[in-house]
Chain A
Amino acid sequence: MNLKLGVPSKGRLMEKTFAWFGARGLDVRRAGSDREYAGLVGGIDGVDLVLLSAGEIPRELNAGRIHLGVTGSDLVRERIPAWRDRVEELAGMGFGQADLIVAVPKCWVDVETLEDLDAVAAAFRATHGYRLRIATKYHRLVREFLRRAGVADYQLVDSQGATEGTVKNLTAEAVADITSTGDTLRANHLKLLSDGLIHRSQATLFRSKSAAWTAETRAAFDALSDRLGETAGR
């Protein structure tokens, strides 16, 4: 059995992943035409390339259908419960950086910290009769973060896109979303909480702990690790 390496199948994330491996002497690329979802790993034996949507890579790693996978560290934390038991972070790849943060309207001049947000949530619930709504697509990460911080009286509302617009549209009071420069937040009259950084995400090479590790896949992994200058264990 060959070692299966899952990489994003599209766009800049794919190109940067190929370049990252290339810089380490591994020729990772798509096979055939641009439209064919098949790939090659040159310069090393026993490794199959699997092209996948970045969002599906956490699931495939968790299920053990791929041995290694490249995806955002935010997606792994969000989609795999107790992720540390299921996958190992081998290398941060230094691209695809984005911060998952909590942001509130800039006009909330009384709110700078999570403690303020909590106090406002209590008052909001008393005044409006329902819990303060935070729009996000990162339900697990946000819920765990706010629980640790002791924030109560809020609810999460699902928002799969244009999350920064939800406050203006009156479908949420605050947001928890990915930002890289903060431009979109500012354009939508939102501001970060000073202690509202939930996770600093980047494209990361993960190893699945549940994939079938045979003598062959282990040998391929060792060869790959040597090439990547990695000493990460198995």
Chain B
Amino acid sequence: MQPSKDQVRAEAARLQAIFCDAGARAVDPDILQPAEVLLDLYGEDIRARAYVTADPLKGEQMMRPDFTVPVVQMHMASGQGAARYTYAGEVFRRQEVAEPGRSNEYFQVGLEIFDAEDPEEAEAEVFARFADALAPLGLRAAMGDFGLLTAAVGGLKASPVRKAALMRHAWRPHRFRALLDRYSGRTPVPAARADLLKRLTRLTPVEMITASGPLIGLRTTDEIAGRLERLRADAAEAPLPTAQVTLIDDLLSIRETPANALARLRDIAVDMPALDPALHRLERRLSVMRRHGVDLDAVSFEASYGRTTMEYYDGFVFGFFADRRPHLPPVASGGRYDALTRVLGQGREMPAVGGMIRPGLALELAGEGAA
């Protein structure tokens, strides 16, 4: 049975009290958030997911689709160092199609830790506190680590331009794959590109642009010529070794207990030493988790975890799922989002990790368990 709003609110308060006991300060961000910030962060897709409204004085506003962004903004504006926050309240999600377990408005309870001292300790603590709070529900836990993919891309025999292009699409697996295939020569150069490169052997970039007719729009001749030069350099670059692409494929396919995942990652790192620093962080995180009493054998390590849904999470990521209700969204999820603090920090950056629980879903599952 669906719990009532009062019951969900009470459950949210109960969970928030756990985070308060852990030393987190309760914060209460506004429901209306400036749309510009969210649009700039997430792009047009957020319009399909968030309610947009207009304020005559403040301009376009969005009803908060999550708490993390306003909490990060608040923390970065405060100029403080280490801090931890908790929130409890409703978020609002516009829906084009009705999906089970997904409401237009639902409660979230969260914990966010800003800490530069000991990142793995903070990560292990967040996970352990979530695992504790959710233990009675018998959920399946999964975790991943974007740091591994980032390190692997950093270790490729490729130009900085190619690496940057790959990193930019790390959260769009389809595009990432297409780029890898192109760079390694698995897919041929498209005819239009080949044609363009041929013309570039006869004409200078500026000649080509001039021959195309009037220059319109904000993109300057320099910008267009600059890209033509990059295309020429890219065409001259040696293909990415197939062995390295295979290593990335191996890495992304890992789905094991943390101990087995670690063994496979060590194998991969023999041929890709650039993985080592990320691997050390993972090893340390796992050992701190064990110290916090986390039963690691019950957790699945999935190297691709959250790759399509968690843009801006750039390290450790995790989620808790109800396996007997596989169509439901995760009961809880979170991870490290240093990149978000960098984007919102206006020049500053602060290591941060956190997560949120859906108390409504937790209550629903608890009710089923009792029945």
**Interface assignment of A77: CB less than 8 Å from any CB of chain B:** no
Given contacts A109-B196, A143-B44, A173-B218, contact A123 B227 (CB under 8 A): yes
Name B residues whose Cβ lies closer than 8 Å to a Cβ of A.
Answer: 39-40, 43-45, 47-48, 96-97, 165, 168-169, 172, 174-175, 178, 190, 192-193, 196, 208-209, 212-219, 223-224, 226-228, 231
Specify which of A82, A107, A131 is in contact with B43 (CB 8 Å cutoff).
A131
What residues of A have a CB within 8 angstroms of the CB of B169 in the complex? 150, 152
Q: Are A173 and B212 in contact (CB under 8 A)?
A: no
**Interface assignment of A81: CB less than 8 Å from any CB of chain B:** yes
Among residues of B, the one whose C-beta sits closest to the C-beta of A149 is: B175
Which one of A32-40, A67-75, A111-119, A205-213 contacts B?
A111-119
User: What is the predominant secondary structure among interface residues of chain B facing chain A?
Assistant: helix
A-B contact pairs, 5 of them (CB 8 A): A82-B96, A109-B209, A110-B196, A123-B227, A189-B214
Bound Cα distance from A105 to B209, whole angstroms: 11
Bound Cα distance from A127 to B209, whole angstroms: 19
What residues of B have a CB within 8 angstroms of the CB of A189 in the complex? 213-214, 216
Closest CB in chain B relative to A122 CB, distance in Å:
6
From 158 to 211 in chain A, residues with beta carbon under 8 angstroms from any chain B beta carbon are 167-168, 170, 173, 188-189, 194
What residues of B have a CB within 8 angstroms of the CB of A173 in the complex? 217-219
Given contacts A110-B228, A167-B217, A173-B218, contact A154 B44 (CB under 8 A): yes
Among residues of B, the one whose C-beta sits closest to the C-beta of A166 is: B217
> Which among B44, B178, B192 has the highest number of chain A CB atoms within 10 Å?
B44
Top 5 nearest A-B pairs by Cβ distance? A150-B175, A112-B192, A81-B96, A82-B97, A110-B227
Specify which of A110, A112, A156 is in contact with B224 (CB 8 Å cutoff).
A110
Given contacts A107-B224, A108-B224, contact A122 B44 (CB under 8 A): no
Closest CB in chain B relative to A156 CB, distance in Å:
6
Closest CB in chain B relative to A125 CB, distance in Å:
9
Closest CB in chain A relative to B253 CB, distance in Å:
21
Name A residues whose Cβ lies closer than 8 Å to a Cβ of B.
Answer: 81-82, 85, 105-110, 112-113, 115, 118-120, 122-124, 127-128, 130-131, 139-140, 143, 146-147, 150, 152-156, 167-168, 170, 173, 188-189, 194
Specify which of A85, A105, A109, A131 is in contact with B217 (CB 8 Å cutoff).
A105
Closest CB in chain A relative to B297 CB, distance in Å:
37
Closest CB in chain B relative to A99 CB, distance in Å:
19
Specify which of B168, B216, B226 is in contact with A168 (CB 8 Å cutoff).
B216
> Which among B43, B178, B193 has the highest number of chain A CB atoms within 10 Å?
B43
Q: Are B96 and A120 in contact (CB under 8 A)?
A: no
Bound Cα distance from A189 to B212, whole angstroms: 9
What residues of A have a CB within 8 angstroms of the CB of B214 in the complex? 107, 189
What residues of B have a CB within 8 angstroms of the CB of A146 in the complex? 44
Closest CB in chain B relative to A172 CB, distance in Å:
8
What residues of B have a CB within 8 angstroms of the CB of A152 in the complex? 43, 168-169, 172
Sample of 16 more A-B contacts, CB < 8 Å, known A81-B96, A143-B47: A81-B97, A82-B97, A108-B224, A109-B208, A115-B178, A119-B227, A120-B219, A130-B40, A150-B175, A152-B168, A154-B44, A155-B39, A168-B216, A170-B218, A173-B218, A188-B216
Q: Are A168 and B45 in contact (CB under 8 A)?
A: no
Closest CB in chain B relative to A165 CB, distance in Å:
10
Q: Are A107 and B193 in contact (CB under 8 A)?
A: no
Specify which of B45, B96, B218, B226 is in contact with A147 (CB 8 Å cutoff).
B45
What residues of A have a CB within 8 angstroms of the CB of B218 in the complex? 128, 170, 173
Q: Are B212 and A106 in contact (CB under 8 A)?
A: yes
Among residues of A, the one whose C-beta sits closest to the C-beta of B195 is: A112
Specify which of B168, B190, B216, B231 is in contact with A113 (CB 8 Å cutoff).
B190
Closest CB in chain B relative to A131 CB, distance in Å:
7
Q: Are B45 and A143 in contact (CB under 8 A)?
A: yes
Q: Are B192 and A109 in contact (CB under 8 A)?
A: no
Bound Cα distance from A31 to B169, whole angstroms: 58
Specify which of A112, A120, A123, A140 is in contact with B193 (CB 8 Å cutoff).
A112
Closest CB in chain B relative to A36 CB, distance in Å:
38
Closest CB in chain A relative to B302 CB, distance in Å:
22
Closest CB in chain A relative to B317 CB, distance in Å:
20
Bound Cα distance from A153 to B214, whole angstroms: 26
What residues of A have a CB within 8 angstroms of the CB of B178 in the complex? 115, 150
Specify which of A112, A124, A127, A150 is in contact with B174 (CB 8 Å cutoff).
A150
Bound Cα distance from A118 to B212, whole angstroms: 21
Closest CB in chain A relative to B51 CB, distance in Å:
14
Specify which of A110, A119, A156 is in contact with B165 (CB 8 Å cutoff).
A119
Closest CB in chain A relative to B205 CB, distance in Å:
8
Closest CB in chain A relative to B84 CB, distance in Å:
32
Q: Are B213 and A107 in contact (CB under 8 A)?
A: yes
Bound Cα distance from A168 to B215, whole angstroms: 9
What residues of A have a CB within 8 angstroms of the CB of B192 in the complex? 112-113, 194
Given contacts A119-B165, A150-B174, A168-B216, contact A131 B224 (CB under 8 A): no
> Which among B190, B219, B224 has the highest number of chain A CB atoms within 10 Å?
B219
Closest CB in chain A relative to B347 CB, distance in Å:
14
What residues of A have a CB within 8 angstroms of the CB of B215 in the complex? 105, 107
Among residues of B, the one whose C-beta sits closest to the C-beta of A130 is: B40
Q: Are A170 and B213 in contact (CB under 8 A)?
A: no
Q: Are B217 and A170 in contact (CB under 8 A)?
A: yes
Among residues of B, the one whose C-beta sits closest to the C-beta of A152 is: B43
Q: Are B172 and A154 in contact (CB under 8 A)?
A: no
Closest CB in chain A relative to B354 CB, distance in Å:
25
What residues of B have a CB within 8 angstroms of the CB of A127 in the complex? 223
